[in-house]
Structure 1
Amino acid sequence: MFHVARSLGALLCAGLLVSALTTASPAQPTRTGPAAYVPATVDASDLRTADRRAGAERDDRPNVIVVLTDDMRADELKQMPRTQALIQDRGMQFTDATSPHPLCCPARVELLTGQYGQNNGVRHNESRYGGYHRLKTGNTIGTWFAGQGYNAAFVGKHVNGYENDSPRDPGWNIWEPITGNPTDYFKFRFFGNERYKGDYVTRRIEEKTNSAIRALSAADQPFLLFTNHVAPHERQQTGRGGLVNPPYEKQYAAVAKHFKAPSLSARSYNKRVKGGLPSKMQPDQHPKSVVQKKWLARVRSLQSVDAAVASMVDALSASGELDNTYLVFTSDNGYSLGERRLQKKNNLVEETLRVPLVIAGPGIAPGSRSPLPVTLVDLVATITDLTDVQPTLTTDGASFAPTLRGADQGWRDTTLIQTGYKYNPATDRKLKHKGWALRGVRTERYTYARDMNTGEKMLFDRQRDPWELKNVVGTRPYARVVAELERRAGKLRNCAGDNCNRTFGRVPKPRKR
């Protein structure tokens, strides 16, 4: 795979080559707003500043920066050498992290609320049961932190449906989300009708992130910063252009050119699932040449994110805040590239469920790894635990802060997983489970789900079938397994708070044939 030498990674970790690896900025973009383009600066007038009175206690709680990519596979982190050196090698990698609702809007709302879709109300990207209009903006991680002594900043892609005339979300001291079309890399807007044309969106997110870090650090209060990148999501062209592969900057045109997309070597590539898949999972043929081209475009678009991470760490180090900051890198969901003839997301298979997750910061052993099956919902509980911030709603995740600190901790044995669908009022009014598609559970061994409206079921035994090529849900040896996993799913589909983190015990073994 494309990589840098480990000796270079060691120098990066020491902070000696961060600036050198940050590529030079391109020509200034055309800004079509009323004023000529100027480099982004943050108005710090809305930031909480330290109390300078004699005897006032200094707030030494740690900062948190969450870097979020869009549609990134877990295995694509191998193509980001700077991020590996600056976060993964300095901290802990979670090798079995998942997005339990693997679609953009539901996953992002989970990160803002710490709740599953049955509690936060967001089941899909759009329609009656999806999109920004479903988010209760007055009670999110931004308001929790801002209300408890932190400055909070948000930069980049927001929840689907956040439009050019949408209001500012409460709580965030610095508010720099993309508005309107969130995935056009060249023609885009930020809040306040700040418009760009002929630019590259990753560069502007990088610039705004670093500007926010400087302002937040100068305020001398702990801070929370979400920086949400668009890559490697497909580009949704403005107008009728439709979706195309993610564009990348010219300097990365040769990256990974001699390497093959990992999915092309998978035993499941373009293979049919024996026993079939639920109808909402729509398999199709995906030619190798098309998949290879898409994978290269994705990897190359991530190089700009990789450079932005290095630039961000450089800005944080210059501010003197690096040692007191937790750096989190993850994605909203994974992505299928032809495995089982599936592509994209919103499917309950490993490539779509699994996401990269690496965390560095105070008390985390460099180069450590954990197999704990954590989720994005758990990440919210962990961030609030590390910072002593109390959510003002009931969150559904469990904190894995003890694991980050090197301690052993108990963990649930079953995790809720689910997908939604675009509700159509003309055809779906009589459905009992509106807005829901597949809902089920994932354990150490099994992935199980049922379509809530059609009753179609799916069961993969990942121990015997790691490539998920056999749907064994209707076979006699697995009857007891299905019954037990459906029982657990029934308990978790309406769970809230601690009830989402139960330990059920051992799943019955499949009977011998």
Structure 2
Amino acid sequence: MNTTKLHMRPLIGAFLVSFAGLSLAAEKPPNIVFFALDDMNDWVGALGYEQAITPNMDRLAESGVNFTNAHTAGIFCAPSRTALFTGRHATSTGCYTTQVYFHSLPELTPLQLVFQRGGYSTHGGGKLFHHPAGFVDLRGWDEFFVRDDGQKRRGWPLDSWETDMAILPKPYPNSIFNHDREPANKFFLEWGPVKNEDEEKMADTVRTEWACELLRRKHEKPLFLAVGLYTPHFPNYAPQKYFDLYDAEKIKAPAYKKDDLEDLPPAVRKAKQARGAIHRRLESLDAVEDAIHGYLACISYADAMLGRLLDAIESGPNAENTIVVLWSDHGYHHGEKFDWGKHTLWERTSNVPFMFAGPGIARGAKVSATVSLIDLFPTVVDLAGVADAQQRDGISLLPVLRDPAAAKDREVLLPGMKPNEYAIMNRDWRYIHYADGGEELYRLEEDPNEWHNLASRREHAPVVKRLNAAAPKRFAQPLPSNNEIRLVVDGETFRWESKGKQKKRAGGASN
């Protein structure tokens, strides 16, 4: 297949003009567009991963600022997205796992409400929050798009596959991993092509086209538009043409080290040895590269959706006043540390694509300084010039977006799934601390695969001490998780209640 057909035209208008020095709180505030991906690690051409075919992500990177050492703010979907839309770490809020922040912390103003109060028209759609019913914070949205109105009567779930509208391959299950058994979690380690003619019916295509239609229109108010794709989260189903971009015989798996787990603290070593059964099964089926093929196909499908979005901006009335931000909620392991998944404090979970392009932003810049998705909230608020009266945990990257040479490396925090569990990262080191006192330390330039845990070596004790000192001095206690409260759906609205009590709490009612 001729892959050049998937490469879009170079961006014009806002994306090919450097507006460094422009006041972003000018007469006409910029439109802000989020393009959010799910389980997307840093396998992007513009991030140095040559195996992925990502012309539009590369195009966006060339048109703006590409943060090459960006890290998630949560190690799976729920805490990551909570941190992003509240601008607060789990260590500040207590939202370490599946807590519903707007139930327990209704006073905490989310990003979309800050934009709305700042005069923006706010539109959200797709997987922006955790996908089960009851997790969409509907406050502050002028519109929140779901492709099926029936979702509103089920508590606004954001899944792509648990409905009659899902586009599935035939046969199902499709992957060799699941051929001879009932699929674990229905779609885990499922991959395979669907018909090319079904692309327009797929949930992520429908969401993208909804966003494109908005971008083709002129708006009286500045626009905050956030569209979230489910891909490349499992199941890795994509139209056949995206599988055809890759030669299955040439796909390479990451490097694995046979005794990689031996120098880990006992508890995490035991957990990952058990988790390794997944990798061993894939190896026994000679399916590791096949599984990676499915993930790469979905990355290219997501990339094509980004291309549609960028083209809609370029060809519409918003070309000169729109900032695009690409992010992923966290990364994903494909056998590294013998894991297939996230939920870890290692590089495969933490490193994510993070790109900005548009007016007021330097063009064609790579920034290797360490940043976090916790920085997104204060950065876009500054870009928009809207007021935010609440304390957030990140820093604004606006000075770096204007002058990438001003970037300075710093230590960033990645909370784990409980208090006193975290990673501290900078350009040179990753320090991991577990709640039971276990520690890991990796020197990243010399050991990018994080194969050699240096935490117990005496000569590195000063580094451990210094990085440990950068951790929070106190950790918020976990709030009630979704399993500890009760979802009540009332028509097209919902609310959460404490179990055993009929006391209503603030949350899911739409404006």
TM-score of the superposed pair, with normalisation by structure 2: 0.72
Q: Kindly report which structure 2 residues correspond to 1:36-115, keeping only aligned pairs within 5 A, or say none.
A: 59-77=27-45, 79-115=52-88
Q: Which residue of 2 aligns with 1:319?
A: 316
How has the CA–CA distance of structure 1 residues 478 and 138 changed in structure 2, closer, same or farther, with 3 Å as cutoff?
A: closer
Q: Kindly report which structure 2 residues correspond to 1:75-224, keeping only aligned pairs within 5 A, or say none.
A: 75-77=43-45, 79-124=52-97, 126=98, 129=99, 133=103, 136=106, 139-160=109-130, 162-163=132-133, 169-177=138-146, 179-180=156-157, 182-184=159-161, 187=164, 199-214=201-216, 217-224=217-224
Question: Aligned pair 1:358/2:355, yes or no?
Answer: yes
For 1:200 and 1:158, the matched residues in 2 are separated by: 17
Q: Which residue of 2 aligns with 1:388?
A: 385
For 2:58 and 2:468, the matched residues in 1 are separated by: 42
Q: Deviations over 1:249-268 (max 9, x none)?
A: 12323121246555x242x4
CA drift at 1:120: 3.3
Match of 1:486 among 468, 471, 476: 468
Q: Superposition RMSD on alpha carbons, in Å?
A: 3.3
Q: Deviations over 1:93-115 (max 9, x none)?
A: 11111113221111111221111
For 2:103 and 2:165, the matched residues in 1 are separated by: 21
CA drift at 1:88: 1.4
Secondary structure of the residue aligned to 2:78 is helix
8 Å contact from structure 1 (residues 213, 316) kept in 2: yes
8 Å contact from structure 2 (residues 37, 229) kept in 1: yes
Match of 2:337 among 312, 336, 340: 340
CA drift at 1:467: 1.9
Match of 1:442 among 418, 422, 425: 425
For 1:259 and 1:370, the matched residues in 2 are separated by: 34
Secondary structure of the residue aligned to 1:218 is coil
How has the CA–CA distance of structure 1 residues 113 and 305 changed in structure 2, closer, same or farther, with 3 Å as cutoff?
A: same
Q: Provide the identity percentage.
A: 23
For 1:219 and 1:187, the matched residues in 2 are separated by: 34
Q: Kindly report which structure 2 residues correspond to 1:329-478, keeping only aligned pairs within 5 A, or say none.
A: 329-409=326-406, 411=408, 413-420=410-417, 435-436=418-419, 438-452=421-435, 454-478=436-460
Shifted more, 246-255 versus 131-140: the winner is: 131-140
What runs of 5+ residues in structure 1 fail to find an aligned partner? 16-56, 190-195, 236-245, 421-434, 495-513
Secondary structure of the residue aligned to 1:210 is helix
Q: Which residue of 2 aligns with 1:507?
A: none
How has the CA–CA distance of structure 1 residues 388 and 206 changed in structure 2, closer, same or farther, with 3 Å as cutoff?
A: same
What runs of 5+ residues in structure 2 fail to find an aligned partner? 14-24, 167-197, 477-511
State the AA in 2 paired with 1:233. Answer: H
How has the CA–CA distance of structure 1 residues 62 and 373 changed in structure 2, closer, same or farther, with 3 Å as cutoff?
A: same
Q: Deviations over 1:279-315 (max 9, x none)?
A: 2452415245333122111121233322221222222
For 1:488 and 1:14, the matched residues in 2 are separated by: 42
Secondary structure of the residue aligned to 1:248 is strand
Secondary structure of the residue aligned to 2:32 is strand
State the AA in 2 paired with 1:218. Answer: K
Secondary structure of the residue aligned to 1:66 is strand
For 2:358 and 2:406, the matched residues in 1 are separated by: 19
CA drift at 1:455: 2.0
CA drift at 1:141: 0.8
Match of 1:255 among 223, 230, 245: 245
Q: Deviations over 1:14-50 (max 9, x none)?
A: 59xxxxxxxxxxxxxxxxxxxxxxxxxxxxxxxxxxx
CA drift at 1:138: 6.4
State the AA in 2 paired with 1:346. Answer: H
What number of residue pairs does the alignment pair up? 413
8 Å contact from structure 1 (residues 274, 469) kept in 2: no
State the AA in 2 paired with 1:87. Answer: L
Shifted more, 64-73 versus 372-381: the winner is: 372-381
For 1:442 and 1:363, the matched residues in 2 are separated by: 29
For 1:3 and 1:493, the matched residues in 2 are separated by: 53
For 1:459 and 1:222, the matched residues in 2 are separated by: 45
For 1:477 and 1:375, the matched residues in 2 are separated by: 29
For 1:406 and 1:228, the matched residues in 2 are separated by: 29
How has the CA–CA distance of structure 1 residues 365 and 219 changed in structure 2, closer, same or farther, with 3 Å as cutoff?
A: closer
8 Å contact from structure 1 (residues 402, 408) kept in 2: no
State the AA in 1 paired with 2:38. Answer: D
CA drift at 1:463: 3.7
CA drift at 1:81: 3.3
For 1:379 and 1:80, the matched residues in 2 are separated by: 26
Q: Which residue of 2 aligns with 1:504?
A: none
CA drift at 1:154: 0.5
For 2:414 and 2:27, the matched residues in 1 are separated by: 38
State the AA in 2 paired with 1:84. Answer: M
Shifted more, 346-355 versus 277-286: the winner is: 277-286
Secondary structure of the residue aligned to 1:110 is helix
CA drift at 1:491: 3.6
Q: Deviations over 1:347-374 (max 9, x none)?
A: 1111211001222111333322111211
For 1:95 and 1:168, the matched residues in 2 are separated by: 30
Q: Which residue of 2 aligns with 1:12?
A: 10
How has the CA–CA distance of structure 1 residues 144 and 458 changed in structure 2, closer, same or farther, with 3 Å as cutoff?
A: same
Larger RCO, structures 1/2 (Cα 8 Å, 6+ apart): 2
Secondary structure of the residue aligned to 1:93 is strand
Q: Which residue of 1 aligns with 2:260?
A: 272
CA drift at 1:59: 4.5
